[in-house]
Structure 1
């Protein structure tokens, strides 16, 4: 894709986000689009949000589970960038009035106390650089019509970032078995799903290692204070007004997400 077309696609996704609207899949409109094109479009879309006054507060890893990889026809994760406008507080819940077609996923967040600059990062490096981990919800949201996405679409759309919120529980990754720690997800008081950390690339730490090294090759470091969302440990769950989700990670604690408002779709 030409630079002008990449810019136009990034601007189009940014405009769709602002308008709470959807666009046709990029792969349908531009059959030759590559994953590299998708990341260039993502960069433009995120740059528009930063130009409008937001700041980068972290990164997210997506497409970590085999079923999602099979659906998208790709066999490695992708990544997106988290901005200050995506942060929700557990006490406030999630305002659906700002979202289009959201789905919730429960995962583990890493908060860094020192920079982490790849490539060459190991699991030990990640643990040493982490201030704490916490249970969290990422509410993914697609600007692509009807979630008809392939990997090029979701990468371009900033890995389908919506908003996220962290629980108040904070754990030391040196004292937790993040691979075997169980997670339960309740929806409106009923058990919805269970999983373990190993569902994410064998361990959430492995996912962060992959991302640190992938971004390092692109000249994008992790900075102290950033939040890293390590990938979903639950099925994607569509949410609506009144939903109340609670995820619990064994040995760590809980995160609760209450939803209110009306989505665009």
Structure 2
């Protein structure tokens, strides 16, 4: 942590390193409570001067360890902020990653209570199921491509435990990359993993096409975030395990949903995935 400046447009309060360490654990506890109560917390960057991305991932990891200790089962990882549209929407210039558990994964046609989120938005994505373990650092894009077993239509429901989506990079990273839930299709897309960058997808809200993009919007090649994630986690001694699900990032901007909304990730002739909010 560098105590010389903040990570967002607002600077937080300058404190001693010892107090800062306690604040980071307090932030993790607050986010855990907000996940249960659905009462959001104030932006973290405004409360601790010099909070950096390493601090934010430490907060995220403290929550992951808490959930695992309660018996929740890790289903996979998500990479976020990989498209220019999402980076522009949130005012950041770097991808991030988070985690999700088996009890956060829904299927095609799922009816999902909107009241289970604070301010949900949806993003259309690929879902990669790994057939091989990826352990970085040093994983190439081609190695990551070879590790993909099946490709599914997916929708990530993002949600923010930070008030009013008032986030900079450190806020969303600490808040598990704003992950709320995941929906995944029941049948793999009939697509060659070498061709993912050219695949088109439309985000359809209540039957109306709202946003569209191609796989190239996801870091130029949607497999690139998978390699990036394997290498970042590998530096921490963590591997992406065979059988895990990885979402590499959104084709489009995220759009809000409410009760009675329907969201579809439409991959044209390749297939689609639809979820309903109740």
Q: How big is each residue's C-alpha offset from its partner over 1:179-231, in whole Å with a ceiling of 9 and x where there is no partner?
A: 01111121111111211100010011111111111111121110011110110
The Cα shift of 1:32 comes to 1.6
TM-score (norm 1): 0.92
Partner residue in 1 for 2:254: 236
Structure 1 residue 32 and structure 2 residue 55: aligned? Answer: no
CA distance in 2, matches of 1:100, 1:127: 35
Question: Tell me, which stretches of 5 or more residues in structure 1 are unaligned?
Answer: 261-265
Between 38-47 and 121-130, the greater mean CA deviation after superposition: 121-130
Cα distance change on mapping 1:97 and 1:204 into 2, 3 Å: same
Partner residue in 2 for 1:53: 71
Moved over 4 A (4+): 70-73
What does residue range 1-265 of structure 1 map to in structure 2 within 5 Å?
Answer: 2-70=20-88, 72-171=90-189, 174=192, 177-250=195-268, 252-260=270-278
Q: How big is each residue's C-alpha offset from its partner over 1:36-55, in whole Å with a ceiling of 9 and x where there is no partner?
A: 00000001112222222212
TM-score (norm 2): 0.88
Asked if structure 2 preserves the Cα contact closer than 8 Å seen for 1:245 and 1:256, the reply is yes
User: How many aligned positions are there?
Assistant: 260
Between 35-44 and 240-249, the greater mean CA deviation after superposition: 240-249
SS of residue paired to 2:239: coil
Q: CA RMSD in A?
A: 1.7
Asked if structure 2 preserves the Cα contact closer than 8 Å seen for 1:20 and 1:100, the reply is yes
The Cα shift of 1:173 comes to 5.5
Q: How big is each residue's C-alpha offset from its partner over 1:41-80, in whole Å with a ceiling of 9 and x where there is no partner?
A: 0011122222222121111001112243345554221100
Cα distance change on mapping 1:205 and 1:32 into 2, 3 Å: same
